[in-house]
Structure 1
């Protein structure tokens, strides 16, 4: 009986030892409880989050850059001197239909005027282009009414005479005047005038239109306010 009891006690002791060792092994070697593994997981999650944020930021920046339009550089003002020497120092002027129409008008309307007077006539034409009461192109303004003799806005276009350019130097100089005006030279000579006539005539409309300037052989006017 004593021998049997000793055997049972020894078996219980061995079993408890094995159970204790097994429990210890579960706790010690389980990766789920290893703080280093947990830290690695957190580090990986943080790295994934960082990469995701960087990707979003890069995409946002790319979209912003794709839609970004830098502000246009301000156009420097066109500086003008009303002298032949100033015009002579400029390069040969070239351009399209507007330049040709404006040069032609200056040639036949004002080539005998001073340079200042030529700029003043160009101002009137461009003031008309800017006005809703006239055509909105240079050529349209100049040729308004052309086709009916002496019923046009600029006499040379409807006087029945062919427009022949015989003074090449004057044409080249006036092309430079036209170019400067089309590029945005200031219109400060005629006070916003839309009409003019030579001092040799006295049209009826001049009695009701406010006179704004007198330059060379031309008087300048703007339309009366309604």
Structure 2
């Protein structure tokens, strides 16, 4: 029971008793010093009762009822992204950085398994954290050089329109979870990847860290300080 409800119940009890007090004070004409305090208490109680009688019953119910606890939200950053967890999440939304990550996952890995999509997201976020790459997701996704773009779909001249809304909805949830702090533990810090169908020359300069779905993932080799 709330403190307010307890106080209100006590106040109604005092008001009920106040009728008897008022009758005694009315018939008593003594100069007892306690009489003044009793009269003051009675007056105060009847003022309170008058005030309460002016309050709508539903308002009294509202202020004397313990509020219900709000339903808890799902974890913003799960310890592991699973299909079951994704299915329980509402539609994912976000700012421009969120959109860039969702678009990259969609175009690079929409046909991949859930781990494959998470792995691509890891590479993009790992690049954002690496000073050798742009410091924003959109900067990483649209980074280019004289030979083209880091992610070919971003500048291959083809339409980037989303054609599978259902898959894109799931991809957006993956992007949201990764931005909210889901762990990056699938690719061991990878900042590069390519499909199994090719073997680019640059891959020889890096350390392979994982093979997930159709992609191979790579990280920069560890460098030791020279004397």
The residue aligned with 2:63 is none
Report what 1:158 is aligned to.
Answer: 155
Q: Write the distance in 1 (CA, Å) between the matches of 2:218 and 2:136.
A: 20
Contact 2:142 2:151 in 1 (8 A): yes
Structure 2 counterpart of 1:185, from 182, 185, 193 = 182
Match of 1:139, SS state, is helix
Which secondary structure does the structure 1 equivalent of 2:169 belong to? helix
Cα distance change, pair 97–77 in 1 and its aligned pair in 2 (3 A): closer
Q: 1:21 maps to what in 2?
A: none
Shift in CA distance, 99/185, structure 1 to aligned 2, threshold 3 Å:
same
Pairwise CA distance, 1:86: 2.4
TM superposition outliers: structure 1 runs of 4+ over 2 Å = 80-86
Any stretches of 5+ residues in structure 2 without a counterpart? 1-74
Deviations 1:14-70 (A, max 9, x none): xxxxxxxxxxxxxxxxxxxxxxxxxxxxxxxxxxxxxxxxxxxxxxxxxxxxxxxxx
Please give the residue correspondences for 1:69-218 in structure 2 after superposition, counting only pairs within 5 Å.
Answer: 78-145=77-144, 151-218=148-215
Give 3-state SS (helix, strand or coil) of 2:177's partner. Answer: helix
What is the alpha-carbon distance in structure 1 between the residues aligned to residue 170 and residue 197 of structure 2?
A: 26
Q: 1:223 aligns with which of 213, 220, 223?
A: 220
- Consecutive unaligned residues of structure 1, counting only runs of 5 or more, are 1-75
1:28-43 superposed matches below 5 A: none
The SS at the match of 2:149 is coil
* TM norm structure 1: 0.63
Q: Tell me the distance in 1 between the aligned counterparts of 2:91 and 2:222.
A: 40
1:82 Cα offset (Å): 4.2
* Alpha-carbon distance in structure 1 between the residues aligned to 2:131 and 2:137: 13
- Give me the whole-angstrom Cα distance separating, in 1, the residues matched to 2:171 and 2:79: 14
Q: How many aligned positions are there?
A: 149
Q: Whole-Å Cα distance in 1 between the matches of residues 98 and 205 of structure 2?
A: 32
Q: CA deviation at 1:81?
A: 3.9
Quote how far apart the aligned CAs of 1:223 are. Answer: 1.6
- Quick check: 2:123–2:189 contact (8 Å CA) kept in 1? yes
Offset, 1:225: 3.8
Counterpart-to-counterpart distance in 2, 1:173 and 1:77:
15
